[in-house]
Amino acid sequence: MNAASADERGTTERVLTLLGLLQQRQVWTGPELADRLGVTPRTVRRDVERLRALGYPVHASQGVGGGYQLGQGQDLPPLLLDDEEAIATAVSLLAGAGGAVVGAGDAALRALTKLDQVLPTRLRHEVRALSGSVESFGGGATVDPEVLMTLARACRDEVEAGFDYPSGSEVRQRRVEPYRLVASDRRWYLLAYDLDRDDWRSFRVDRMAAVSARTWRFRPRAAPDAATYVQESVASRVYPHQARFLVRASADTVRAQISASAAVVRRRGSELCEVLSGAASLDFVLMHVLLLGHDFEVLDPPELGRRCRALAEKLLSAGATIAPVPDTEES
């Protein structure tokens, strides 16, 4: 490969990287892009012009909050999709993000967020009209794809979000810094920093109402792992009682027996795992683990160990009242 070909390939790869960055966030400053790409701001300006020449609508604005932004054009950029393909893809992604396709929610929402970034206005009306005729059935709670899109954009653009959310017998307005959307067991959750409670919280998206993205941008905080935090919240933190068990079975075996929304299973060895779960009653958690059929030990709380012994005595007592069945031999 000669020097000219190498330079051309390097430029092409850099321009594609630039396009990917512009799809990830609403606004980038020139210095930010130059730092990410390892080039000068002048080279960034040249690469932006290359994208424009290919049909990508890259806008530039000056002043505080200004920068480069991938906008909505009159036509879809080349090498992406034609109108019919874009409509079909968007409708399919809306169905998948809404829960109609099991296991496809996360990927569908990520792809839909990217497509939404460049979808021309004239196609949006057709997509909305067609998506209204797509429904699904199953055990999952219904989530409006438009709500998912609003929250996904807020996460991407790092802007505050607001919504009404039930709290006990009341419905209260919440102000949050949205971080990640997490799909679990055909339900969607939002991990966000609750500004009024000054702490991280997880929210069920299907319980939200009046969802909106605000214009206030925020600087992202150090956040917990989204999937782990949401799973622990759903499986234990929302309940008044939590318990930990050491189960003598592999983590893969136990995960196949327990729903991810019912317990957190952590590997402790090839044939050993820790189970964290919660419920309204410690007896319920205990019976749930007992019915798995594996040997186990109670790690926390201490009172659950005492409860085990009390229940064991009751079970032995109940069994002692039954007369043994004599062995009979056929003659």
- pLDDT of 278 reads 80
- pLDDT of 169 reads 83
Between 103 and 198, where is the model more confident?
A: 198
For residue 243, the tally of other CB atoms under 10 A from its CB is 25
Cβ(142)–Cβ(98) below 8 Å: yes
Helix (H) / strand (E) element for 269: namely strand 263-269
- C-alpha to C-alpha distance for 53 and 78, rounded to whole angstroms: 10
Paired tokens of 237: 């933190």
- C-alpha to C-alpha distance for 118 and 74, rounded to whole angstroms: 10
pLDDT digits (tens, 9 = 90+) for 123-175: 777 666 655 544 444 445 567 777 887 888 888 888 999 999 998 789 999 99
- pLDDT of 82 reads 65
Q: Alpha helix (H) ranges present in the chain?
A: 3-24, 30-37, 41-53, 83-97, 105-118, 121-131, 145-157, 226-232, 251-255, 282-290, 302-320
- pLDDT of 57 reads 87
Cβ(137)–Cβ(99) below 8 Å: no
| Interstrand relation of 241-247 and 263-269 (parallel, antiparallel or unpaired) | unpaired
DSSP 28: B
pLDDT digits (tens, 9 = 90+) for 243-300: 888 999 998 998 888 877 778 888 888 899 988 888 777 888 888 888 888 999 888 8
Burial class (CB in 10 A: 0-12, 13-18, 19+), 136: middle
- pLDDT of 137 reads 42
Q: What confidence tier does 64 reach under pLDDT thresholds 50, 70, 90?
A: confident
Residue of 162, 192, 183, 212 whose CA lies nearest to 97: 183
Residues whose CB is less than 8 angstroms from the CB of residue 186 and which lie 6 or more positions away in sequence, other chains included:
99, 102, 138, 139, 140, 141
Is residue 7 pLDDT above 90, yes or no?
no
Is residue 120 pLDDT above 50, yes or no?
yes
- pLDDT of 176 reads 95
- The whole-chain average pLDDT of the chain stands at 79
- C-alpha to C-alpha distance for 273 and 267, rounded to whole angstroms: 5
For residue 169, the tally of other CB atoms under 10 A from its CB is 5
Strand partners, 188: 183
Cβ(36)–Cβ(13) below 8 Å: no
Residue of 50, 49, 119, 61 whose CA lies nearest to 90: 119
pLDDT digits (tens, 9 = 90+) for 194-240: 999 999 999 988 899 999 998 888 998 998 888 888 877 877 776 77
- pLDDT of 326 reads 67
Between 32 and 149, where is the model more confident?
A: 32
Strand partners, 204: 189
- pLDDT of 239 reads 76
Is residue 3 pLDDT above 60, yes or no?
no
Is residue 94 pLDDT above 70, yes or no?
no
Residue of 175, 190, 194 whose CA lies nearest to 227: 190
